[in-house]
A and B are shown apart, each in its own frame.
Chain A
Amino acid sequence: MTTPLLKAENLQVAFAGVKAADGVNLEIAEGEFLAIIGPNGSGKTTFLNLCTGYIRPLAGEVFLDGRPITRLAPRTIARQGIARAFQIPQLFTDQRLIDNLMLAVAARRGIWDAFRPLDRRTHRDEAMQLLSMVGLEDVAEQSAATLPEGLRKLADIAIAFALKPRLLLLDEPTSGVSAIERFGLMETLMTALRQARVTALFVEHDMEVVERYADRVVVWDQGRVMADGKPDIVLKDPRVLQNVVGVA
């Protein structure tokens, strides 16, 4: 039996007595596109925080390739191959968009370079490729602060992609993106993920997106996994339809 790329074992977290993870067990296989759905406040983002070391569980373990990563810092986990795009885009807003991407590229290649410029051919070319991937090449020289929310979201995904991760965690990748561009973005993203052989876990509220792009869907409710399986089966489950799809 092959080791899952990511494995969460009996994760437990509570905030002021409210359980955000209540004995969560979950595995993600290499190459899988896993969607997590669930009502607001059910603990989906908390799970991403646990997987990236942003918060530590009261109990339980997270394993990457069979090795525990539960107590590691986000930077260490990032270096081990887990990248993250955030629900609220996390950009360096006092810099141009291209600088954001070049810094992400430099972070992967090695930040300890104090004399050669950040803005050099190798960094710029790769940064432009990433921006082209999400259709942002035309706004590359703009300040990240001036971009509309939808474009910031795309930029955030491109930054996470710059790390060439093995596992990409996407927190609501299509929120803030217009309905027309949503599927275009997902197509581009999925193509890029497949080409780069990146495993992806995305938290999503849009059931059309989940149905079309996820290999597997996990339904979250009150810090627990309520259902887990193929989208065409799980999304027809009456409990899911009543508790999640209706709410989401």
Chain B
Amino acid sequence: MPLLLLLAGLAVMAVLPLAVPWLQFTLTIALAKGLAALGVAVLLRAGLISIGHAMFFAIGAYATAFLMRDLAVTDFATLIVASTLISALSGLLFGAFLVRYRAIFFAMLNLAVSMVLFSLLAKLYGVTGGTDGIRVATPSVFGMALARPVFADVLYYGGLLLAGLVGFAVHRYLKSPLGAALSAIHTNEVRLEYLGVSAWSVLLVAYTLSATLAGLGGAIAAMAIGHVVPEFAFWTESGHIVLVAVLGGIGGVVGPFAGSIFLEVVQTLAVGFAADAWNLIIGLALIGVIFFLPRGLYGLMETRRRTSP
């Protein structure tokens, strides 16, 4: 059933920009942040909250910018693959140290590392462009130079396809023995160790996966926006990603995407119609979800499935 939900969601997402063209950019960013939120949701399965995951979003985004600027890589697919791999390696490296910690220590250490990265991105002007950031030109697609609006279509539908494939893979992972072991860390890590399973290894896989997802999201965002800035790694962005995951719900892979789309659309509408009060509107929306949908928007879908004949 979650797969049907994923397919239905993808179908709606595919036709939505055709009906409301101005939504395409918003939805592209929602997909990018949804991927990062899915990464956070993976870790939430183990009961771990990362308040620093924007660093991997930023690593993916900056990897794209560096590859284009310094190595003259312009191909869309190469950029996506390489940026995602760089994020995965970063996740493996930081994760080897960070997954030793639990609860507030894990959350705060992630925050600390992300703020170090933010500072480096902001201060190393000669390398990172400092607070001005780096411009990301329009990539080519299989050797073809495309006009910006055409590339935006390719990025959106390519991103949608990637989100579908990644969502399916993560769904399989969460249902696998390795995914079950990840959830088991949340409930009884001692028993898991007594089953001969290394909780550290299980978490390292999850952390690397979550960094990979965030990095993929960052690469898509960099290409969509055409510019990367240190704020991508700022702690408020990390908070935003956690917010998206909680809002959407961690019960299934569709949840973080639903949360991301909801938040981006509400934010866009709120900025347009109530520029001074959009934070208030988002805060109220979040309070509403926490009070009435403790399992997030995905919980609402689950309830509907259970009550439908």
Contact = CB atoms under 8 A, between A and B. Distances in A.
Interface of A: 52, 73-76, 78-79, 83-84, 90-95, 99, 102-104, 106-108, 110-119, 123, 159-160, 163
Contact of A95 (B178, B180, B190, B197): B180
Contact of A84 (B188, B194, B197): B194
Nearest to B173: A114
Given A75-B197, A78-B195, A163-B196, A94 B177 contact: no
Contact of B191 (A92, A113, A114): A92
Given A79-B196, A115-B173, A103 B184 contact: yes
A94 B188 CA distance: 10
A83 to B, nearest CB: 7
B31 interface: no
Given A78-B196, A95-B184, A103-B184, 4 more contacts: A92-B191, A103-B195, A108-B196, A111-B202
Query: Which of A90, A91, A111, A163 is packed against the most chain B CB atoms within 10 Å?
Result: A111
Contact of B177 (A76, A78, A111): A111
Contacts of B191: 90-92, 159
A118 B176 contact: yes
A92 B205 contact: no
A104 B196 CA distance: 9
B69 interface: no
Contact of A93 (B177, B187, B196, B198): B187
A33 B181 CA distance: 32
Nearest to B191: A90
Interface string B168-210: 0100110111111101101110111111111000100100000
A75 B181 contact: no
B163 to A, nearest CB: 18
Nearest to A90: B191
A102 B184 CA distance: 12
A108 B198 CA distance: 12
Given A113-B176, A115-B176, A118-B176, A94 B195 contact: no
B176 A159 contact: no
A75 B196 CA distance: 4
B43 to A, nearest CB: 16
Given A91-B188, A114-B172, A118-B175, A99 B196 contact: no
A113 B196 contact: no
Given A78-B194, A90-B191, A91-B188, A114 B180 contact: no
B183 A159 contact: no
Contacts of A106: 177, 180-181
A202 B179 CA distance: 33
A209 B241 CA distance: 56
A118 B179 contact: yes
Contacts of A123: 177
